[in-house]
Chain A
Amino acid sequence: MASSAQLITCPNCRAVLGADYFNLPDLQPCPACEIPVQVQVFPALFREETGAQPERIIAEGEASCFYHPDKKAAVVCDACGRFLCALCDVDFDGQHLCPACLEAGRQKGKIQKLETRRTRHDKIALALALAPILIFYTTLVTAPIALFYSIRHWNASCSIAPHRPKLTFSIAIALAAMEIIGWAIFFIFLYTR
């Protein structure tokens, strides 16, 4: 169903921008506030979206949806094999999934494209090793914590975007090790003195 949210409006004054502004090579002043704007539109703007309409079962013995017994099965879930009607079918990333499998995949982190949040353990480990150097005596406590944290989360997936967690962890481990060795030397020096 179309909604007025599809219209293109000026980001400054919210005046609706007509087709005169679409796909021009340069900025043009908004008709209302005269702020220069440039709009690039794509066919999706004009696409009419319609909801899925599952079919009712007509003949006895026809396969029915697992979740809607009176609706005809259209596809099979690629994860669990259940029959699904057009309404239950979630076409996600080229796979047909049922809502239960989709939710299970999201919760267990098996579908990466549904992940919306991750913790950067590598940066936390580096911060634990690096930041306390400013108040150096705190490194007596934070260096072992940084070392433990780095080893504990060595294999954790830290970011969806390409990055080098192992390099960051290695730097954190090296810094923490140096801090621990430094404290060890200091205590040995105190003891022998």
Chain B
Amino acid sequence: MAGQEQEYKKLPGSGLMRGGSSFLALTRTRCSLWLGKSHLLQVESQGGYSESYKRFYFRDIQALVLRRTKTWFAVNVVFGTLAGLFALWATFTSDTAGKTALLIITGVWVTFLLLNGFFGPSCSCFLQTAVHREELPSLRRLRRARKVIANLLPLIAEAQGTVTREEAVVQFDALLQRLKFPAPVTIGRQFTTVVPVAKSYQSRMHQVFFGALLVDVLLCTLKMLVPSVVLVLLCLGFGVSLIALAAAAIVKQHDTDLKSSVGRLTWAAAIYLVARYFIGYNIMVAMISPGRLNGFDWEYITTVANAEPFQTPWLLVILIFSAVVSTVLALWGLLELRSHHRQKTASSTMPPPPPEVPPPPA
């Protein structure tokens, strides 16, 4: 039983394992795949200082399943938004050094965007054996996953043979019979046997978000009555927090059974908040100090703070418009959310107990 070192060849890619308690990339588990003679080796490196190993023998691999994910799209949206925001900021900055710095940062985001596009669509890859299904975190790009699977196919074929599509159909029917699984139901040209249930929405994020919109109404009202630099700064900061809350709510509602109207309202509120924060503010400043529109600096904050809303029609219009829209979105969202919770409670209520049957006569 000599412990010979195996000859392994590294397969492309590495990835962080999902789950776990630490969100810090430095301490999370990083996985890589290595190809051995008779098996696939997954090396899980914890912090770089210890490694765990999982072996998947070629003769035991039943299936490899690829699923496209939205990570690629989400990363494109994030980097694209950041690049757009910084480019917009640079456009409204007159200071050369500031403009250069902002353009450099914009360039960084654009580089990440291009790199993400270059690496291609994202996916999850799962390896199934008789006893479990394991995600392969190092295969998170579709192109890379397909390349690795193409490398594995001849090795798996050597260990257990191959199966054509026609053979798979015949053997699948036999498998269903062996498992005594219900016969698949044909829907159009597709087969499905399980009606999946979307994840139950458990979060309070939407309540917090729509509640924060009501606070925003209060701040808009205060801005109309109280000219204050502190209030303007508070509104700017609160505006950013609202955008962050909207993003969090959108993430929380994804793939859940939350009512679609609540989801749509959340999206509408997010778009309105982003537009208001950048466009609304610049309109205010342009109307108050025409010809001096050049960015978010202390001078404009004090200009907005010192402007009297009731003597500045445009400012008043914007503040009233913001208050009205925030009120409508907040109340509508809270009402729809309440309706969703009521529906859920009604559908999960236990059925009434069966009526008592009198005993048969003796």
Hey, which chain A residues are within 8 Å of B157, CB to CB? 42
CA distance A24 to B34 in the complex (A): 26
**What's the count of A-B pairs with C-beta under 8 Å?**
201
Is B279 interfacial (CB 8 A cutoff)?
no
Is A45 interfacial (CB 8 A cutoff)?
yes
CA distance A118 to B52 in the complex (A): 7
Are B168 and A120 in contact, with the CB atoms below 8 A? no
Q: Which of B61-69, B100-108, B208-216, B288-296 contacts A (4 or more CB under 8 A)?
A: B61-69
Interface residues of A in 96-114 (CB under 8 A from B): 101, 105, 109-113
Is B325 interfacial (CB 8 A cutoff)?
no
Are B196 and A15 in contact, with the CB atoms below 8 A? yes
Are B130 and A6 in contact, with the CB atoms below 8 A? yes
Are B1 and A44 in contact, with the CB atoms below 8 A? no
Which of A37, A101, A105 contacts B65 (CB under 8 A)? Answer: A37
Interface residues of A in 65-115 (CB under 8 A from B): 79, 93, 95, 101, 105, 109-113, 115
Task: Identify the closest chain B residue to A158 (Cβ).
Answer: B51
CA distance A5 to B62 in the complex (A): 11
Is B116 interfacial (CB 8 A cutoff)?
no
Hey, which chain A residues are within 8 Å of B126, CB to CB? 11
Are B162 and A43 in contact, with the CB atoms below 8 A? yes
Are B192 and A31 in contact, with the CB atoms below 8 A? yes
Interface size of B by CB at 8 A reads 74
Q: Which of A134-142, A159-167, A171-179 contacts B (4 or more CB under 8 A)?
A: A159-167
Interface residues of A in 1-44 (CB under 8 A from B): 2-20, 22-24, 27, 31-33, 35-44
Hey, which chain B residues are within 8 Å of A50, CB to CB? none
CA distance A42 to B158 in the complex (A): 11
Is B131 interfacial (CB 8 A cutoff)?
yes
Which of B67, B149, B255 contacts A36 (CB under 8 A)? Answer: B67
Q: Knowing A16-B192, A22-B165 touch, does A120 contact B51 (C-beta < 8 A)?
A: yes
Interface size of A by CB at 8 A reads 65
Is B128 interfacial (CB 8 A cutoff)?
yes
Hey, which chain B residues are within 8 Å of A37, CB to CB? 65-68
Task: Identify the closest chain A residue to B174 (Cβ).
Answer: A46
Are A48 and B178 in contact, with the CB atoms below 8 A? yes
> Main SS of chain B's interface residues?
mixed
Are A32 and B64 in contact, with the CB atoms below 8 A? no
CA distance A70 to B2 in the complex (A): 33
Is B21 interfacial (CB 8 A cutoff)?
no
Are B62 and A20 in contact, with the CB atoms below 8 A? no
Task: Identify the closest chain A residue to B3 (Cβ).
Answer: A112
Hey, which chain B residues are within 8 Å of A181, CB to CB? none
The winner among A3, A20, A111 for most chain B CB atoms within 10 A is A20
Is A123 interfacial (CB 8 A cutoff)?
yes
Is A192 interfacial (CB 8 A cutoff)?
no
Is A116 interfacial (CB 8 A cutoff)?
yes
Are B66 and A3 in contact, with the CB atoms below 8 A? no
Interface residues of B in 100-149 (CB under 8 A from A): 124, 126, 128-133, 135, 149
Which of B41, B61, B63 contacts A160 (CB under 8 A)? Answer: B41
Which of A11, A93, A109, A116 contacts B52 (CB under 8 A)? Answer: A116
Q: Knowing A18-B184, A19-B168, A118-B50 touch, does A8 contact B3 (C-beta < 8 A)?
A: no
Are B175 and A6 in contact, with the CB atoms below 8 A? yes
CA distance A8 to B194 in the complex (A): 12
Chain B positions 140 through 180: 1 when the CB is less than 8 Å from some CB of chain A, otherwise 0: 00000000010001001100111111001101111100110
A50 to B: closest C-beta gap in Å: 12
Hey, which chain B residues are within 8 Å of A7, CB to CB? 175, 179, 181
Task: Identify the closest chain B residue to A29 (Cβ).
Answer: B190
Q: Knowing A2-B175, A16-B192, A110-B3 touch, does A41 contact B52 (C-beta < 8 A)?
A: no
**Can you list the 3 inter-chain pairs with the closest CB atoms, starting with the nearest?**
A18-B191, A13-B196, A19-B172
Could you list 13 A-B pairs, sorted by A, with CB under 8 Å? A11-B126, A16-B193, A19-B172, A20-B190, A32-B194, A38-B66, A40-B63, A43-B163, A112-B5, A115-B53, A127-B49, A157-B5, A160-B53
Interface residues of B (CB under 8 A from A): 1-8, 10, 32, 34, 38, 41, 43, 45, 48-55, 59-68, 124, 126, 128-133, 135, 149, 153, 156-157, 160-165, 168-169, 171-175, 178-179, 181, 184, 187, 189-196, 198, 255
With A16-B184, A32-B196, A162-B10 given, can you name 13 additional A-B contacts, CB distance below 8 Å? A3-B130, A10-B67, A19-B168, A20-B189, A20-B191, A22-B168, A23-B165, A33-B196, A38-B65, A110-B2, A111-B1, A113-B6, A119-B50
